[in-house]
Chains A and B, each alone.
Chain A
Amino acid sequence: MRYEAVIGLEIHSELKTNTKIFCGCKTTFGAEQNTHVCPVCLGLPGVLPTVNKKVVEFAIKAGLATNCKINEYSKFDRKNYYYPDLPKNWQTSQYDLPIAEHGYVEILVDSEKKKIGLTRIHMEEDAGKLVHSGTNIKDSASSNVDYNRTGVPLIEIVSEPDMRSAAEARAYMEKIKAILEYIDVSNCRMEEGNLRADINVSLRPVGESKLGTRTEMKNINSFKALEDAINYEIERQTEVLEDGGEIIQETRTWDPAKGITLSMRSKEDAHDYRYMPEPDLPPIVTTKEEIENYRKNLPELPDARRARLEKEYGLSEYDASIITSSREMAEYFDGVIATGADAKQAANWIMGDLSKNLNADGVTVKDSPVDAKRLGEMILLIQKGTISGKIAKQVFSEMWKNPDSPEKIVKDKGLVQITDTKAIEGIVDEVIAKNQKAVDDYKNGNKKAIGALVGQVMKASKGKANPQAVNELLAKKLG
């Protein structure tokens, strides 16, 4: 039997507010343990929460940017469970009246567009961090709690089970990340846990509409882990089903080192969260006018930007979608073309040499040693014919290590393209003399043979000769 995977994601994203969701403590990452705390986020007896209005604003923006309906009347609830990183032993979250519902985003996988539904977006507080003396809470003689993260605002974005492959799940998460970056509500630093996903995976026979039993994997915080975990889980479940077994509804944990998922707890151990309306916080009421105002002030979103790049610069859909997949990348592109550089060239360089170098060095485009301006200037040198595309690759490598302007690098390294026919003529004559066979082929009607001759001239000139000038000169000399 052939199976189809059904995948849904719950994405948690930390919002980039200056202060926590229910108190005035700072949200800065990486501070000394238990320095960003107060009676309120520590949940001391007698304290009461007050809502950070910025959090509501950011959540509404996230809802609008993902085509959600914003609930004018929304409320907080207590999600009750005992865990030592949760000082009140409940998480203030939202249950039946989340801030946003019924949205969607569009993804592009293998040139096919697909809508992924969003069930809801709700606001909640993050928990603290346990620091174990051993490797986990079970094998540790003692554990300490760092409450700095307690009360950092989160939104949880819950998707419909609309994804069918790891690639689609990845594209979806990338799209969510891009949107949150574009509207500037989250830093989306996955390595810091700003953005993490719980993944639900189930299988069903192709053609079946009923959902199969699902398993859940929590706190996945890289795109690679997301794809690997889903692919592993699809394979594992397929094997179980093909062996006539049954999938057990459970939470599994992804072990990136071993590349496998392991059973963590079964449904029987699942919590009854005993949700209760938060009595200490009045409902959040947002007027239609306020919502419209937020909508009007949303910046350009990834899809709109992609369409604009296609239209204005004639980029392909694929190129435009890669360029707009992150706000930083799109802004980098804007920076390059602001110098007057050709858009298609800019796209090619960004997706080619720039991306390759960034990946190799593990840096983000924001911290690229070659900034947008310098790349633009380099492309202009190509456009002016000062350097050839081939030489440009050399120039780019040099720029990666050397902060000088491309012009200076070209000059210092003597990489200026030779367009002067007289300067090339000697080499051309020499090449004609040494390659009688190619010359004969050309003269006998094989016009393609000129390519080999051009290549020889380029080689002999160490790439500096202008290929067009070489072509013309050769054609002339060979009659």
Chain B
Amino acid sequence: MELYFETAASLHSMLKNKKITAKELTEAVISRIDATENEIGAYLTVTKENALENAKKTDEKIAKGEEIGFLEGLPGGIKDNICTKGVKTTCASKILENFVPPYNATVVEKLLGVNYSLMGKLNMDEFAMGGSTENSAYKLTKNPWDKERVPGGSSGGAAASVAAGSAVWSLGSDTGGSIRQPASFCGVVGLKPTYGRVSRYGLVAYASSLDQIGPVTRDVTDAANIMNIIAGNDAMDSTSSKKAVPDYTKSLVKDVKGLKIGCPKEYFADGMDKEVENAVRAAIASYKDMGAEIVDISLPHTKYAISSYYLIAPAEAATNLQRYDGVSYGARVDGEDIVSLMTNTRTAKFGAEVKRRIMIGNYALSAGYYDAYYLKALKVRTLIQQDFTEAFKSVDVIMTPTAPTAAFKIGEMEDPLKLYLQDIYTVPINLAGVPGISVPCGFTQNNLPIGLQIIGRPLDEETIIRAAYAYEQENNWKDKRVGGEN
């Protein structure tokens, strides 16, 4: 297999065993970027020098016989809504076109602590609003499996880069499915941790009560290793959990005997693509063969999840995005007075979908509508949370498709409502605050990846990692690479 297609774990051992140098690997990834980036468009900023500098240091350490950390010398990408000090962080928006953060997100500080190698900043839907990366103000990202199709979103660049071989690993963010759905579309692993497991400090807020940072990788082992680095309490994030972080690699065992798997009937309903359904059902059957127990369950409030999400998220977004007003951050369209300066700037610099959600959010929070919309949505959210609490009394994990279809064509989802419905299986997980992982579970006849979503109890990433790992070991989907290489 080409170096740039290897998993992080295998590259890490090759480095340690001096089979390759970090320089060779980094150069291989850079050539891959040069070869594919014009077509794929995963990156908004490429930091070649930085990656080469890191490679040099890593090789020196190895030469001196020093231990290296898991991510040292392995070029990875970070979604462009996670603040990187000194490196532009645009959120794929014109309003932050020239924003260079003067500080690092906590996850970036943690990565720096283990000498990670930054390859660049990854494309996304503007401010993480969207499910196809078509809402980026800068460029389209294409699905490496079929360049007429979208990579999913909003972490489209994070998933496409890992699938295309232009990043060994990446970090994305997930507010309503933004890690898991693109992972599913691009045939890679995407983990959305429990709300509060990974610090949000430095993640440019879209919907604060739903946002979480998580890894996008080529297999479950890589995801577990990255979780070990980024998870944990942060004094800068009051919503981060104080619970101790386990060693997630200890969950990398192929053992699901007696594991109780819930299959919610509401997630296998009308409108689901037949090929997706078959693949997911086959995956669940494979668990049965491995000794797990399959239980039919119900999450009765699932049907209200999309409407609830599309009130709560826009309401939070409407306030979170108020700071972009032309006063700070450089992007400014002048006006006669301060009000017109703000209006002109926001009108010109925000994209259509961002403006749509700001309007929905402000409407939902307006005097006279608050109770009918926002407050009601919060109540529905509580019911959805209770659905999961109830279900987890009888099962250990819940399995569903990650998305109702495989990757769709660029331009296919012009109707925003149609696109919102794409989030139907991922959104409830954010509303409930529980962890979810998407692992490849097959391909359509058109050779498009399909993802299996495994949902766990709050702060029980270990069980979903174990379940995902067991499946991955039993089935070889993860070894399939773009371009038929195997």
Question: Which residues of A are in contact with B by a Cβ distance under 8 Å?
Answer: 39, 42-51, 78, 80, 82, 84, 87-90, 137-138, 143, 145, 272, 274-276, 279-282
Asked if B101 contacts A89 (CB within 8 A), the reply is: no
Q: Does B391 contact A (CB under 8 A)?
A: no
Which chain A residues border B96 with CB–CB below 8 Å? 45
Asked if A46 contacts B327 (CB within 8 A), the reply is: no
Asked if A274 contacts B366 (CB within 8 A), the reply is: yes
Asked if B322 contacts A82 (CB within 8 A), the reply is: yes
Asked if B342 contacts A82 (CB within 8 A), the reply is: yes
Select the stretch in B8-16, B232-240, B299-307 that faces chain A: B232-240
- Nearest 4 Cβ contacts at the A-B interface: A89-B322, A274-B365, A279-B208, A279-B209
Q: Does B252 contact A (CB under 8 A)?
A: no
Asked if B238 contacts A276 (CB within 8 A), the reply is: no
Q: Does B205 contact A (CB under 8 A)?
A: yes
Which chain A residues border B367 with CB–CB below 8 Å? 272, 274
Question: Which residues of B are in contact with A by a Cβ distance under 8 Å?
Answer: 81-83, 89, 91, 96, 99, 101-103, 105, 200-205, 207-209, 235-239, 315-316, 318-319, 322-323, 325, 327-329, 337-339, 342, 362, 365-367, 370, 374
Asked if B337 contacts A282 (CB within 8 A), the reply is: no
Asked if B238 contacts A281 (CB within 8 A), the reply is: yes
Which chain B residues border A88 with CB–CB below 8 Å? 322-323
- Nearest A-chain residue to B90, judged by Cβ: A45
A138–B82 alpha-carbon span in the complex (Å): 37
Asked if B238 contacts A84 (CB within 8 A), the reply is: no
Asked if B316 contacts A45 (CB within 8 A), the reply is: no
Please name 10 further chain A to chain B contacts, defined as beta carbons within 8 Å, in addition to the given A45-B329, A276-B315, sorted by A numbering.
A45-B89, A46-B205, A47-B202, A50-B237, A87-B328, A143-B338, A274-B362, A276-B365, A279-B209, A280-B238
A48–B211 alpha-carbon span in the complex (Å): 13
A-B pairs with beta carbons under 8 Å apart, 19 shown: A39-B101, A43-B323, A44-B83, A45-B91, A45-B323, A46-B201, A46-B202, A48-B200, A78-B319, A84-B327, A87-B323, A145-B327, A274-B365, A275-B370, A276-B315, A279-B207, A279-B208, A280-B239, A282-B238
With contact pairs A82-B342, A276-B365, A279-B209 given, residues A46 and B323 touching in the complex (Cβ less than 8 Å): no
A44–B103 alpha-carbon span in the complex (Å): 10
A143–B327 alpha-carbon span in the complex (Å): 10
A44–B205 alpha-carbon span in the complex (Å): 10
Which chain B residues border A45 with CB–CB below 8 Å? 83, 89, 91, 96, 99, 101, 204-205, 323, 329
A141–B202 alpha-carbon span in the complex (Å): 34
Which single member of B208, B315, B325 contacts A280 (CB below 8 Å)? Answer: B208
Which chain B residues border A49 with CB–CB below 8 Å? 238
Shortest C-beta distance, B118 to chain A (Å), equals 17
Which chain B residues border A138 with CB–CB below 8 Å? 337
Which single member of B338, B370, B374 contacts A137 (CB below 8 Å)? Answer: B338
Asked if A272 contacts B366 (CB within 8 A), the reply is: yes
Which chain A residues border B203 with CB–CB below 8 Å? 46
A280–B240 alpha-carbon span in the complex (Å): 10
Which chain A residues border B103 with CB–CB below 8 Å? 39, 44, 47
A46–B128 alpha-carbon span in the complex (Å): 13
With contact pairs A272-B366, A274-B365 given, residues A48 and B342 touching in the complex (Cβ less than 8 Å): no
- Nearest B-chain residue to A50, judged by Cβ: B238
Asked if B201 contacts A89 (CB within 8 A), the reply is: no
A269–B476 alpha-carbon span in the complex (Å): 64
Shortest C-beta distance, B234 to chain A (Å), equals 9
With contact pairs A45-B89, A45-B323, A80-B319 given, residues A276 and B237 touching in the complex (Cβ less than 8 Å): no
A45–B127 alpha-carbon span in the complex (Å): 11
Asked if B325 contacts A82 (CB within 8 A), the reply is: yes
Shortest C-beta distance, A452 to chain B (Å), equals 75
Asked if B83 contacts A46 (CB within 8 A), the reply is: yes
A87–B101 alpha-carbon span in the complex (Å): 16
- Nearest B-chain residue to A79, judged by Cβ: B319
Asked if A90 contacts B319 (CB within 8 A), the reply is: yes
With contact pairs A39-B102, A46-B205, A272-B367 given, residues A279 and B316 touching in the complex (Cβ less than 8 Å): yes
With contact pairs A45-B99, A84-B338 given, residues A276 and B235 touching in the complex (Cβ less than 8 Å): no
